[in-house]
Amino acid sequence: MIGLKDDETRLLPLMLAPAVSYIALLIGFPFVLSIAYSMTNISVGTTELKFVGLDNFISVVGSQTFWVALKNTCIITLVSQVFVVGLGNVLAGLLMADFTGKWWVRLLILLPWVAPISLGSIGWLWIFDSIYSVINWTARAIGLLGPFDWPIWLGQPDLAMASIIIVNVWRLLPLATVIILAGLSSIPQDIHDAAHVDGAGFWRHHFEITMPLVLPITLIAVLFGIVFTFTDMIVVFVLTRGGPYDTTQVLASWAFFTGIQGGDLAEGAAISLFLFPVLVAVAILFLGVARRTEVT
């Protein structure tokens, strides 16, 4: 007979093994490898390495594009999160209401999340196309655009940034909505009733009761969103490839263009490592939030 305790001590490492090996193989190993690469002179065509210390980092910091990419990464991440949270709250609020066809509407709203990012981005590429832009044709048809106005969404730096932010919002909104929806449904009806009886009007009810109560879970949505946006290169890669003239480059895409397209793996690795501090900060915040929600 095997005692329960024996069983558990044997089971625990067994159950943890998949998670640990997943992290080690798919996250830990590439991470260590990129640290190693960033301090060598490796390129795609060579396998022999030379240690160069911090040369790559110095070179990265010295390039203007890097700073543009860093700035863009932050702007895109922050601005899209603001919209995601705002719209996510509105959508989730609407979805809480009872109406016929609710199931279908929920499914529709979730679709962008289920669709592969690259596929969605390619769809958007057409929406923003310089000739076939659905937005422009529609705007012209309803008279918003004059005969000589024709915004080139991906060709003008500001509009290109806006386009990238729009696609990121579109992509992350479903997740945020679902998370906030979960938060909203977890508020007991009694609390809402109490607020009604206590005399709260619509805005007070929303801002003083509902919002603060979904805040912790919204924070989770935001942290997810930050991680997804901050590390994403597909949207930029598909829509603008960093253009016009590197004005929409982000850290991930710049690392890719430098490391893979350009062949300078070492510098690409160095660029990608600049993502690390931010992600660590986010991870710490994550744990903090998780702990706090545990207490409540």
Token pair 């386009």 is at which residue? Answer: 163
Residue 296 as a binder of other proteins (CB under 8 A): the answer is yes
- 262 binds other proteins per the rule CB under 8 A: yes
Nearer to other proteins, 109 or 255 (CB): 255
User: Which DSSP category does 233 fall into?
Assistant: -
Judging by beta carbons within 10 Å of its beta carbon (0-12, 13-18, 19+), is residue 160 exposed, middle or buried? Answer: buried
Calpha distance 130→154 (Å, rounded): 7
Per CB under 8 A, 199 contacts other proteins? yes
What are the DSSP calls for 141-156, one per residue? Answer: HTTSS-TT----TTTS
E strands of the chain, at which residues?
A: none
Q: Which is nearer to other proteins, 12 or 260 (CB)?
A: 260
Binding status of residue 58 toward other proteins by CB under 8 A? no
Contact call for residue 294 and other proteins (CB under 8 A): no
Task: Give min distance, CB of 227 to other proteins, in A.
Answer: 23
Specify the length of the chain in residues: 296
End-to-end CA distance of the chain: 42
Residue 191 as a binder of other proteins (CB under 8 A): the answer is: yes
Q: Give the nearer residue to other proteins in terms of CB position, either 49 or 282.
A: 49
Q: Which stretch binds other proteins (CB under 8 A): 2-10, 74-82, 178-186, 193-201?
A: 193-201
Extract the tokens encoding 263. 């062949």
Query: Are 87 and 172 within 8 A, CB to CB?
Result: no
Amino acid, res. 136: N
| Closest to other proteins by CB, 173 or 273 | 273
Using the rule CB under 8 A, give the single segment among 10-18, 38-46, 102-110, 217-225 that binds other proteins: 38-46
Q: Is the dihedral of CA 220, 226, 232, 237 positive or negative?
A: positive
Based on the shown chain and the rule CB under 8 A, indicate whether residue 54 belongs to the binding site for other proteins: no
Q: 133, 94 in Cβ contact below 8 A? A: no
45 scored as a contact of other proteins (CB under 8 A): yes
74 lies in the site for other proteins, by CB under 8 A: no
Sole residue written with tokens 């929303």:
206
For the segment 222-241, give every residue that binds other proteins (CB under 8 A).
Answer: 240-241
SS3 for 281? helix
Does position 30 interact with other proteins (CB under 8 A)? The reply is: no
Q: Does 119 bind other proteins (CB under 8 A)?
A: no
Site for other proteins in 131-170 (CB under 8 A): 131-132, 148, 150, 152-157, 160
Q: How far apart are CA 251 and CA 75, in angstroms?
A: 12
Residue whose CB is less far from other proteins, 93 or 243: 243
Phi first, then psi, for residue 51 (nearest 5°) are -75, 130
Looking at 95, 265, 269, 275, which residue binds other proteins (CB under 8 A)? Answer: 265
- CA angle centred on 230, ends 93 and 182, rounded to 5°: 25
Site of interaction with other proteins (CB under 8 A): 41, 43-47, 59, 63-64, 128-132, 148, 150, 152-157, 160, 188, 190-191, 193-201, 204, 208-209, 212-213, 215, 240-247, 256-258, 260-265, 295-296
